[in-house]
Amino acid sequence: MRRHPADALLLAAMRGFHAFDRRERGASAFDPERVRRILVVSSTAIGDTLLSTPAIRAARERYPKAAIAALFNAKTLDLFGNNPDVDEVVPYHGGYRHFFRAVLALRRHRFDVAFILHGNEPQATPIAYLAGVPFIFKWPNTSENRFLLSNDGPVRTWDDFPHAVDQRLAVTALAKCDPKRRPMILPIAEEGREATDRLLREEGVEDAELLVGFQCGASTLSRMWFPDRFADLGRRLVKGRDRVRILFTGSPAEREYCGSIARRIGERTIVAADRLPLAALPSLLARLRVLVTGDTGTMHMAVAVRTPVVGLFAVSDPSRSGPYYDLDRHVIIKKPRTCVDCVSKRCTYQKCMEAIEVEEVFHAVMRILARTAPGTTSGAS
């Protein structure tokens, strides 16, 4: 990864400030009885922030009277701004954009402790430190900014945690929170519910119809299944099944991509990408009988609203980034990586995704439809 020219300057500044910092900041000096104000940092993508919500709930349960502020990605506020465990949200614009504005906004809170649940370095830890937070907890603690953390040792990596949610819960456990497993929190906004109802009415969707969601896009090419296979799957699902309709979720940038696949399916398709505000996506996902998706934030949102998913995995590991609970509701199709060494997110050709066949995805969808919609059969066609 290319370093920003400001990275070295920021690191040098942090080392200078730290050299003159005489505060007791080690984990052994942390006193839970003195916690009045908490900062939680989860400033990356939608799925990452959703995976942080169990840890935020853990902090709220341990410190019920504390004021909790969250540094969330500005692009996700429509989804997470109404989190019931957060008292205030400070928007984060990423990288060095508005870096010092975020620091100044946080300094006025005079936080007692910060939990960096998921944030891009080298900015995340320095933001908390410059905000004046005395105790900063973060796992993994492998970045160059480790010396700013209250838990600067021993070193733990991503491989030391079974699932991404477990990693975040372990961060709050450093401040005496209970690391027990909890569900993700994703409230369904009333305005989102109303927007979803309008869209489905416009498309003439009836209560008896079975909506099968396709999330065809992903944050990286390596997590995407092929458009021709989505199209083949869609044709098979609607053939001879008048109650089945295919609904495409996606970002505004994915609308034409989804539309091209929908046109190849032909009938009984709905392209919802770019037709609803982000706040409506939880409500829309809750209306689906099943969602077919790669390793995406949309997948985690579906899990949060208890919609079954058929998850398609190859490069990523579902035990770490797949559904975290209700595992009996979901079907995960995992294929091995085919390249050594795997370049993961930098992959430009989805070789290992080729191993996921339309036939097995079709039968996985039909199994879920059969158990969620009485009278639906799983016969092949």
Give me 305's structure tokens. Answer: 């609203």
Predicted local confidence at residue 185, as pLDDT: 97
Q: Which fold has domain 5-173?
A: Rossmann fold (3.40.50)
Mean pLDDT per 10-residue section of the chain, whose length is 381 residues: 83 96 96 98 97 98 98 96 96 88 95 97 96 98 96 95 98 98 95 96 94 94 93 96 96 96 95 96 97 97 98 94 95 86 65 92 97 52 42
**Helix residue spans in the chain (DSSP H):** 5-19, 46-62, 77-80, 99-107, 124-130, 164-173, 190-202, 227-238, 255-265, 281-286, 297-304, 318-321, 358-372
Residue that the structure tokens 């019931």 belong to: 84
**Region for 84 from its dihedrals, namely left if φ exceeds 0, alpha if ψ lies in -120 to 50, beta otherwise:** alpha
Domain 190-372 has CATH 3.40.50.2000: yes
Per-residue pLDDT, 377: 39
What 8-state DSSP symbol labels residue 310? E
Q: What confidence score (pLDDT) does residue 3 get? A: 75
| Alpha carbon separation from 117 to 164, 177, 197, 283 (Å, rounded) | 10, 14, 34, 26
> What is the predicted pLDDT for the residue at 54?
98
Domain boundaries, the chain: 5-173, 190-372
| CA gap 188, 256 in Å, rounded | 27
Specify the pLDDT at position 376. 44
Give which of 243, 263, 258 is closest to 298, Cα–Cα: 258
For residue 338, what pLDDT is reported? 75
Q: What is the pLDDT of residue 375?
A: 46
User: In CATH terms, are 5-173 and 190-372 the same topology?
Assistant: yes
